[in-house]
């Protein structure tokens, strides 16, 4: 078995964050390997990329399960059979029960396109624009039963510009998601994170590394 941490990435759609994780993990010194890409939607676009990369893929159509528990038991069985150590949620648009979250306590992380604790849920860029905030961003956090919440590992902030639309702002945020998610997984898989309540600290580095401030656009 590989000495690197074995990672499953959960997707529901495009999978650009999954691609960022897979690409980062190709570096010889990256401490984790993406060995499984799992989707709750058989038509998720990201599955094709994973297959091309020779990564195992599996789709569990949640609509075919009578309840969340049976769906999640199927997920858990697959993760155990593949000796998965870490789970990365990457645009996985399915709420997970406290039971499943408990199985992966401190080993499952998520990326969310907002500066938590703001804007949990959907349409984060529209809501940021409607509120007139000048700074927006993204967050990687440990998963807890509450949606889009949990101890924060890394955040990136971007400026909101006068002529932004949800799409232009979302694209600026997404570019930062692709930077901070691999960074956070690297720290997790190399056992550099410790959690104290809501606070996560990073060993072996300047702790300011955990916040990226994207420069203003010229
Ligand atoms: C990303 O922006 C991710 O942060 C968001 O879904 C998008 C998935 O894009 N996740 C959430 O909103 C979770 N609450 P991707 O499939 O291209 O990675």
CB 89 within 8 Å of CB 109: yes
Q: Are strands 5-11 and 32-39 parallel, antiparallel or unpaired?
A: parallel
Crossing angle for the helix pair 16-24 and 166-189, to the nearest 10 degrees:
40
CB 96 within 8 Å of CB 72: yes
Residue 68: predicted pLDDT: 93
Is 90 exceeded by the pLDDT of residue 206?
A: no
| pTM, full prediction | 0.96
CA dihedral 207, 216, 165, 172 (to 10 degrees): -50
**Portion of the chain with pLDDT greater than 90, in percent:** 91
Q: How confident is the model at residue 210 (pLDDT cuts 50, 70, 90)?
A: confident
Higher pLDDT, 207 or 46: 46
Residue 213: predicted pLDDT: 79
* Ligand 1 center to 203 CA (angstroms): 28
| Best residue for ligand 1 mutational test, from 20, 111, 144 (most atoms within 8 Å of Cβ) | 111
Beta bridge partners of 96: none
Q: How confident is the model at residue 1 (pLDDT cuts 50, 70, 90)?
A: very low
Q: Ligand 1 within 6 A of 88 CB?
A: no
Is 50 exceeded by the pLDDT of residue 21?
A: yes
Q: Which two tokens stand for residue 136?
A: 């927006």
Query: What is the second-level CATH architecture of the domain 5-199?
Result: 3-Layer(aba) Sandwich (3.40)
* Ligand 1 center to 32 CA (angstroms): 21
Higher pLDDT, 149 or 207: 149
Residues in the chain: 218
Q: Ligand 1 within 6 A of 164 CB?
A: no
* Ligand 1 center to 140 CA (angstroms): 11
**DSSP conformation letters of 169-211:** HHHHHHHHHHHHHHHHHHHHHTT-EEEETTEEEESSS-GGGGE
**CB contact set of 115 (below 8 Å; sequence gap of 6+):** 135, 136, 137, 138, 139, 155, 157
Residue 208: predicted pLDDT: 72
CB 30 within 8 Å of CB 186: yes
Q: Ligand 1 within 6 A of 13 CB?
A: yes
Is 70 exceeded by the pLDDT of residue 55?
A: yes
Is 90 exceeded by the pLDDT of residue 29?
A: yes
Is 90 exceeded by the pLDDT of residue 211?
A: no
For the residues 61-66, what does the mean pLDDT come to? 91
Q: How far is CA 7 from the centre of its chain?
A: 12
DSSP code at position 121: S
**Portion of the chain with pLDDT greater than 70, in percent:** 97
Catalytic residue flag (residue 141): no
Q: Ligand 1 within 6 A of 44 CB?
A: no
For the residues 180-191, what does the mean pLDDT come to? 97
Q: Give all strands (DSSP E) within the chain, no chain letters.
A: 5-11, 32-39, 56-59, 86-89, 108-112, 135-142, 152-159, 193-196, 199-202, 211-213
């Amino acid at each position: 078995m590989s000495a690197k941490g074995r990672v499953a990435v959960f997707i529901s759609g495009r999978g650009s964050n999954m691609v960022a994780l897979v690409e980062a993990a190709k570096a010889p010194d990256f401490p984790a390997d993406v060995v499984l890409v799992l989707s709750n939607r058989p038509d998720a676009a990201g599955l094709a990329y994973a297959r091309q990369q020779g990564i195992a893929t599996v789709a569990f159509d949640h609509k075919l399960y009578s309840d969340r528990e049976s769906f999640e038991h199927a997920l858990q069985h697959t993760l155990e059979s593949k000796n998965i150590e870490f789970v990365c949620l990457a645009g996985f648009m399915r709420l997970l029960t406290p039971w499943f979250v408990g199985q992966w306590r401190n080993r499952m992380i998520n990326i969310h396109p907002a500066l938590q604790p703001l804007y949990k849920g959907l349409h984060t860029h529209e809501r940021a624009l409607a509120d007139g905030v000048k700074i927006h961003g993204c967050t990687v956090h440990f998963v807890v039963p509450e949606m889009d919440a949990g101890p924060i590992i890394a955040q990136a902030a971007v400026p909101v510009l006068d002529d932004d639309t949800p799409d232009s702002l979302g694209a600026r945020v997404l570019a930062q998601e692709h930077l901070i998610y691999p960074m956070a997984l690297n720290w997790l898989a190399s056992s550099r994170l410790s959690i104290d309540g809501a606070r996560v600290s990073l060993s072996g580095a300047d702790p300011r590394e955990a916040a990226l401030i994207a420069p203003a656009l010229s």
